Amino acid sequence: MAAEIKDLYPQQLWGYFYDFTQIPRPTGHMEAVTRFVMEVGKKLGLETVQDEIGNVLIRKPATPGMEHLKTVTLQAHLDMVPQKNSTTKHDFLTDPISTYIDGEWVKAQGTTLGADNGIGAAAILAVLSDETLKHGPLEALFTIDEEVGMDGAVGLKPDFLKGEMMLNFDSEREGELFVGCAGGADLNISFQFKEDKGVPEGDVAVKLSLTGLKGGHSGVDIHLGRGNANKLMFRFLKEAVCDYGARLSFIEGGSLRNAIPREAFAIFTIPGDNVEALWELVADYQDLYNEEFKGIENNISFTAEIVDLPEILIPEEIQDDLINAIEGCQNGVITMLAEFPDTVESSSNLAVVKSSEELIEIKILVRSSSESRKAALCSSLESVFALAGAKVEYGSSYPGWQPNAESPLLKIMEKTYLSKWGIAPKVKVMHAGLECGIILAQYPYLDIVSLGPTIEHPHSPDERVNIPSVQKFWEFILSALEKIPKK
């Protein structure tokens, strides 16, 4: 039962998280969830406002006697990534998330859980509603539409916040404090063409289905070496076209720019005489992929079936240019950070490839904590696709968050964690994008640290949040708020 999570400790936090699971909140559909957060703030009798773009801000006065402390902004985003297994029937615009407890973890039934960043938002509401806590002046910032474009943070006006320090709750590893993150840039690529209606005589149509990949967050999980469904599909298509006379009609892989694509599907025609050989080739590739990704992926499924002949084909020239460009497209980890071992500096995620009537669209998300390397990687990808005759446009771009080694807030958080649990937290830079860099552009004086409980496999249906880590995260927040310095 999904409601079982309301009995977990701390009950206020898990209760609010349950509420978030009942409210559809994919990026771009924020009305219901912002209305809910505003209603909570008003019921608590707290100052509650919404800016022009839709972000919600709630202010809570200091505990009596602590008014002299610096104002702390608690920040989380309200939207979630809508990903589901192909066998799961779920409408993210209308259906609640169905959760369950599995040992020390909370998971969802065949969909993303929304712990990214629902747990962070729930923790903030729990702080606002708990009258037993001791703290200085607080303000809670709930941003909208973070997962696609970070529109909420980008739309912040410079006079909206009053905080001098900020705790961002969008990190996903308990015991780690984040003081920097990568920036990102979107590349939107398109091939336009006139449909070819001349299906070769004697051809049959085949549908390829590549499924079973783990996918995951293109920042948090990119270093794990998981398979990219688009890259694997086009690797096969190149051989099918070159050696078996395949003619591509349809392609669809991936769905979100910041999720590693888990599935890809293609329809093509092939001379009837080559069908039996193709079945063997598909089986060989399935074995090959499972062997190459042994220990990383669990069970990659690559299958083919006969389907009705399509009415149109993608012209051979476009087909060949597309395949060559995808094959040549850099994907995955590109460079590592020397200053922070085991941290990715730059990466590329070939996120979406989708054909429709006379158009093929490709979306790539580039991440880097170096602005110059981000620009260089974007330029490299642009060149590959431009040489193939595609149109390349730059979409949204956001800055990284540069580490501040002298951060007073970081020192408070480190000392608090050490005194509470006897071990020092790890200080890290995150390859995933956080809103901190964007917020700092409007509020350069803010001192920011990011933290959170342990969340695994966000942006995929395998997403799960660790229950004991949520308790530690909560207790850490409460202890840290008591140690904020004077103004």
Which entry of 79, 221, 263, 456 is annotated as an active-site residue? 79
CA atoms within 13 A on the CB side of 103: 2
Rounded CA-CA distance 281/278 in Å is: 5
Tokens of 139: 């303000």
* H or E stretch covering 317: helix 316-328
Q: Which residue has the tokens 């979630």?
A: 80
Nearest to 203 by CA among 274, 257, 155: 274
Give me the residues paired with residue 355 across strands.
360
- Tell me, yes or no, if 79 is annotated catalytic: yes
- Please give the full DSSP string across 331-365, using - where no structure is assigned: -EEEEE-SSSTT-EEEEEEEEEEEEETTEEEEEEE
> Which spans in 181-267 are helix H?
229-244
Q: Are 313 and 196 in contact (CB under 8 A)?
A: yes
Which residues of 193-263 form beta strands (DSSP E)? 203-211, 247-253
- State the amino acid at position 67 in one-letter form: E
Q: Which backbone phi and psi does 226 adopt, to 5 degrees?
A: -70, 155
- Tell me, yes or no, if 146 is annotated catalytic: yes
Rounded CA-CA distance 331/396 in Å is: 19
Cα–chain-centroid distance for residue 467?
21
**Residue 381 CB contacts under 8 Å (≥ 6 apart), including other chains:** 187, 329, 330, 348, 364, 366, 392
- Start-to-end CA distance of the chain, whole Å, equals 47
Which entry of 139, 145, 146, 203 is annotated as an active-site residue? 146
Active site residues: 79, 146
